[in-house]
Amino acid sequence: MSKSAPSPRASTAPTSKTAPTLSLPLSLPTTTPTATECSTPSKSPAAPPPSAAASSKPSNTKPSGTLATPSSPTPSPSSSVASELQCCSRPPDLCRSNFADGIGPANTGLALVGGRLVALAETDLPYKIKITPDGDIETVGRHQFGGGGERFLTMTAHPKTDPETGETFAFRYFVTAPFLTFFRFDSGGIKHADVDIFSMNSASLVHDFAITKNFAVFPDPQIVIDPLRILIGKPIMGAELGKTPRLGVIPRYAVDEKEMYWMEAPGLNIVHTVNAWEEDGGDKIVVVASNVLCVDRALSDLDQINLEKIVIDAAEKKIVGRYRVSRRNLDFGAINARYTGKKNRYVYAAVLESMPKMVGLVKLDLSLSDSSEDCAVASRMYGPGCYGSEPVFVAREGAEEEDDGYLVAYVNNEKTEESHFEVMDAKSPTLETVAAVKLPRRVPQGFHSIFVKQSDLLKM
C-alpha cells in the first residue's frame, strides 16, 4: 500500500454515440472516508471518427448493449490499488458538496439494482447514473434506496443479484462497530433492514462476498483498518499478520446474526469472489474466490493472487477443502450471471502481470478442480503492450449451455494508445475474437465492468 497521500487522478469519461463508457477505477481504500479533491480531466488523444471498426468474423448474434468499465488515465505500474481511492470522477459541482452529500469517488464498480444503474465505491453510497439517448452518461445523484428506515451509509461495490428472484444482496464495512452490516434489496430496489454483524470483531477490508441460494459468505481477511495504527507510524490500513483470516456464513434472509458462524481460514485473504453455491442438499457450501498470497504486500504490489475453490461443511461448520484452480496470477473472475449463487462450471478470469495490468484471459473448467491444479481449458493473451479490462461473460441470445456466449472487454494498446472493444467466443479454445470495434478514444486498461443490455437501458 502506498504510504503517501495518493494524488488525485484525472478521470476521462469518453462519450460516444456508439459506445458509452464510464470512468471507474478500482478503489481499495487506504483511509477512512475523507473528502477528496476533484481532478481535471486529462487531455485525451483526438477522437477519430466513431465509425472506425474492424471485424474479423462478423456475427449476427453479438450481444446488444454496452460495456461500462473504468476508463480513467492509466495508473503507472508502480501505483498501488489503494492509491486509486483518491480518484475523483464526479463533476466539479459535486466536488463542492459536503460530506452529507457523499464523498464522490464512485469509481469501483457498476451494478443494476432494481433496474437502476448505479456507480459504486465501498466508501460511499451508490450514485445513480443514466445513459442518455445520444449515448452520453449522466450522474443523476447519490442514491438513497427507500425502505429500511435507518440512514443508509456506505455500500460495497460488489453487490450480488440473484438471477431468479431479482433480489440484490449487499453489505458495508465500517471503522466502528458494527464493523460489518448485511442488507438486501428486493427486486424493485427497495432496501430491507440492516443486519448488523457484531461478531465481526475488527474493521477489515471486506471488499467482496458471495451468495448461495440460502446463505451469504463473508471473508474476514488480515487486511485491517485501524486509525490507531497511525499512532505507531503505520498506514491506517494494512496487514495484521498475527490475525487469522476467517470465513463467515449467514442465512441470506437473516434478520440478525444469531445463526451466523465463522471458520478460521489460515492463509485465505479473499479480494474478489467469483461465485458460491450449495451442494448435498445444503450440507456443503462451495466458494470460488481469489486469494492474495502475500498479504503483507497486498496493497502495494498485488502480483501474487490465485483462484481457489473452498469447500465448507455446513453441518460441521468448518472448511474441509481448498483447491487451487490455476497456477497463474488470476483475479476478476467472471461467470455466466445466470449461475450466480448456483453451481457453475466455467470461470473466465483476467491474467494479471501485476495489478492492474491484465495481460490476457483464461477460461477455467471447475469440474477439473479435484484432479488438477490448473483447470485452464482456453486462454488468450492480448499481446505486448496491450491490457484489458475486467472480462464480462454475455450469454448468446437463446443459449442453453453455460459457456455458449461471448467474453467482452476493452483492450488498450499502450504503444498506439488505441483501444478496442473486443467480443470473444467463450467456447473457442483460443477465445477467438469475433468482433473488434475500434473506439473513438483511448480507454485505458481498467478494473470492474458491467455489460448492460439495450433492453435494460431502455427501461431506465
What are the binding residues?
158, 207, 272, 448
- Residue 350 near residue 332 (C-beta atoms within 8 A): yes
On whether the CB atoms of residues 55 and 1 are closer than 8 A, the answer is no
Residue among 26, 21, 23, 28 nearest 38 (CA): 23
Q: What are phi and psi of 346, to 5 degrees?
A: -110, 135
**DSSP-derived 3-state class of residue 301:** coil
Closest CA to 447 of 137, 166, 28: 28
* Pairwise CA distance, residues 23 & 119, whole Å: 10
According to DSSP, the residues that pair with 79 across neighbouring strands are none
- The Cα–Cα gap between 306 and 293 comes to 7
Helix (H, G, I), strand (E, B) or coil at 458: helix
Q: Which residues, 6+ apart, have CB-to-CB distance to 436 below 8 Å?
A: 53, 54, 55, 56, 420, 421, 422, 423
Residues 273 and 288 sit within 8 Å (Cβ to Cβ)? yes
Q: Is 330 helix (H, G, I), strand (E, B) or coil?
A: strand
Beta bridge partners of 360: 351, 381
Q: What is the largest CA-CA distance in the chain?
A: 61
Q: Give the integer Cα–Cα distance in Å for 236 and 29.
A: 10
Phi, psi dihedrals of residue 11, rounded to the nearest 5°: -130, 120
The length of the chain in residues reads 460
In contact, 427 and 400? CB cutoff 8 Å = no
Q: Tell me the C-alpha distance between 157 and 26, whole Å.
A: 9
Q: CB-hemisphere CA count at 13 Å for 126?
A: 27
Identify whether the C-beta of residue 269 lies closer than 8 Å to the C-beta of residue 291.
Answer: yes
Upstream peptide bond of 178 is cis (omega within 30 degrees of 0): yes
Known binding residues for Fe cation are 158, 207, 272, 448
| Parallel/antiparallel/unpaired status of strands 127-131 and 261-264 | unpaired
